[in-house]
């Protein structure tokens, strides 16, 4: 039966080539765009590179201090992180780091580099791929040794070789000895991406005390994903201590710090959830906040993404419904014959849905080829730095699901209409 349906689907496709082209173009283009978008989202949510343990890592965002009517939001100082984050007991590891950008010259050539000042735990939390050398440790951080880990591209561009261990690179007028070379980090790894990494002790205002604001962030690695909430709870307690001794704080001050997983942070960005938590005047009492688990906002963000994808699919699906409906009369004789010889409504609905799914899967196969071509172009162009869009298992499975949903949306209504045709009228119309 299925073989017969597929044979019929193929014949119908060949019957009206223009209609078929329009349908296939709509389907394949839609699925192509969705596959690229899904792959990009996938590279954002689970990027290749050092941030592989993302389901166990919490990242701090800005700290927000409100004193009466004034509010300040910024990343925190090393002093704050050292006192309230590095002292946490619940996480397996905590790392503090800051980032920036500088330029330097070599042989009259100007180089722009992203840099990151990071502590020794940074190399243990995140999984860097060392091509040469090794990371620095606590001793180098404590002694402010001028050592650096650089990316493969940096080594190639600056030194002309990846074998750059032992060579020296300029960082703001001071020479740093390269002790390690790592594979390039895709830009989607926004907590680790850089061209050069040096000890945290070179971060601005490293030894400055008292101010809570600076350029640092922290990553906290939990023993297991189940511990994330415990870390948040412990950090909440730390914030209470921090608020009590906050410079310039009053009994009406509040202190908040974003502490989320990567997915929660993405959801927060997507939903444009700002850090203004003080809409409620009651909350201007002396209190602290750690942003609670982002489950609801993650679900909300995923729902919005799914909704957008559904709407994006709906337009070409409506077009296909329209084409299918207009082709019903063309097939009225066939429907009449099938009904006369024993096809029930259900059998006709099934046939028509199978035909649509077949059409959609052909569109899916075309879109797969288009997607692979697009990936190759995007990856070569460097449009998204160091990111390689790939068709992994997740993307493939989601794309198959998209095909099935598309086929159903476009097939069910016309199939229902077709199956309701009166056989006598159908046979008359087919004459």
Partner 1 sequence: MIQLHEINKVYRTKTIETLALQNINLSVKKGEFISVMGPSGSGKSTLLNILGLLDVPNAGKVTIDNTLIANKNDKELAKFRNQKIGFVFQSYHLINDLSVLDNVEIPLLYRNATSRERKKLASEALDKVGLSMRKDHFPTQLSGGQSQRVAIARAIVGTPEIILADEPTGNLDSTMGAEIMDILLNLQKHENTTIVMVTHDEKQAEKSERIIRLFDGRQVN
Q: Which residue, 8 or 222, has its beta carbon nearer to partner 1?
A: 8
Binding residue for partner 1 (CB under 8 A) from 333, 372, 375, 408?
A: 333
Specify the length of the chain in residues. Answer: 431
Q: Would you count residue 72 as binding partner 1 (CB under 8 A)?
A: no
Binding residue for partner 1 (CB under 8 A) from 51, 119, 334, 355?
A: 334
Rounded least distance, CB 221 to partner 1, Å: 59
Cα dist from 168 to 40, 99, 180, 198, whole Å: 36, 20, 11, 13
Rounded least distance, CB 337 to partner 1, Å: 5
Q: Would you count residue 421 as binding partner 1 (CB under 8 A)?
A: no
Binding residue for partner 1 (CB under 8 A) from 83, 300, 345, 417?
A: 345
Cα dist from 113 to 105, 110, 155, 193, whole Å: 11, 10, 11, 11
Rounded least distance, CB 362 to partner 1, Å: 17
Phi, psi angle pair for 35, to nearest 5°: -65, -40
Q: Would you count residue 429 as binding partner 1 (CB under 8 A)?
A: no
Binding residue for partner 1 (CB under 8 A) from 340, 383, 385, 401?
A: 340
- The CA distance from 99 to 272, in Å, is 23
The contact pattern for partner 1, residues 7-46, with x = CB under 8 A and - = no contact, is: xx--xx-xx-------------------------------
Q: Would you count residue 350 as binding partner 1 (CB under 8 A)?
A: no
Binding residue for partner 1 (CB under 8 A) from 161, 283, 344, 392?
A: 344
Burial class of residue 352 (count of CB atoms within 10 Å of its CB; 0-12, 13-18, 19+): buried
Binding residue for partner 1 (CB under 8 A) from 41, 164, 343, 389?
A: 343
Report the interface residues with partner 1, using CB under 8 A. 1, 3-4, 7-8, 11-12, 14-15, 333-334, 336-347, 422-424, 427, 430-431
């Amino acid at each position: 039966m299925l073989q017969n349906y597929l044979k019929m689907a193929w014949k119908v496709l060949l019957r009206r080539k223009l209609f078929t082209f329009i349908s296939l173009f709509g389907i394949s283009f839609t699925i192509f765009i969705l596959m690229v978008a899904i792959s990009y989202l996938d590279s954002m949510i689970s990027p290749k590179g050092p941030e592989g343990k993302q389901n166990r890592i919490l990242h701090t965002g800005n700290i927000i201090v409100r004193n009466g009517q004034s509010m300040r939001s910024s990343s925190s100082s090393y002093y704050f992180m050292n006192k309230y984050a590095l002292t946490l007991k619940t996480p397996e590891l905590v790392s503090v780091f800051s980032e920036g950008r500088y330029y330097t010259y070599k042989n009259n050539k100007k180089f722009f580099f992203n840099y990151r000042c990071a502590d020794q735990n940074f190399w243990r939390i995140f999984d860097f791929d060392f091509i040469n050398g090794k990371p620095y440790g606590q001793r180098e951080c404590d002694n402010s040794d001028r050592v650096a880990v650089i990316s493969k591209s940096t080594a190639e561009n600056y030194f002309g070789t990846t074998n750059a261990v032992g060579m020296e690179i300029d960082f703001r007028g001071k020479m740093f000895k390269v002790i390690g070379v790592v594979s390039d980090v895709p830009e989607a790894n926004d907590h680790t991406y850089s061209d050069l990494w040096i000890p945290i002790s070179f971060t601005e205002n490293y030894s400055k005390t008292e101010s809570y604001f600076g350029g640092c962030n922290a990553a906290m690695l939990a023993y297991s994903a189940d511990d994330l909430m415990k870390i948040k709870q412990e950090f909440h307690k730390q914030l209470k201590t921090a608020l009590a001794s906050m410079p310039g704080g009053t009994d009406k001050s509040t202190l908040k710090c974003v502490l989320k997983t990567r997915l929660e942070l993405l959801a927060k960005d997507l939903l444009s959830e700002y850090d203004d938590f003080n809409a409620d005047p009651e909350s201007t009492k002396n209190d602290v906040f750690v942003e609670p688990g982002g489950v609801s906002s993650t679900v909300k963000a995923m729902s919005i993404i799914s909704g957008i994808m559904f709407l994006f699919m709906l337009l070409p699906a409506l077009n296909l419904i329209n084409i299918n409906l207009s082709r019903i009369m063309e097939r009225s004789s066939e429907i009449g014959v099938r009904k006369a010889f024993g096809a029930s409504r259900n059998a006709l609905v099934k046939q028509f849905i199978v035909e649509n799914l077949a059409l959609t899967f052909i569109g899916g196969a075309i879109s797969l080829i288009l997607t692979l071509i697009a990936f190759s172009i995007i990856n070569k162009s460097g449009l998204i730095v160091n990111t390689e869009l790939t068709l992994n298992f997740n993307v493939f499975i989601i794309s198959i699901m998209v095909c099935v949903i598309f086929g159903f949306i476009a097939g069910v209504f016309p199939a229902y209409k077709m199956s309701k045709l009166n056989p006598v009228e159908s046979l008359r119309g087919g004459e």
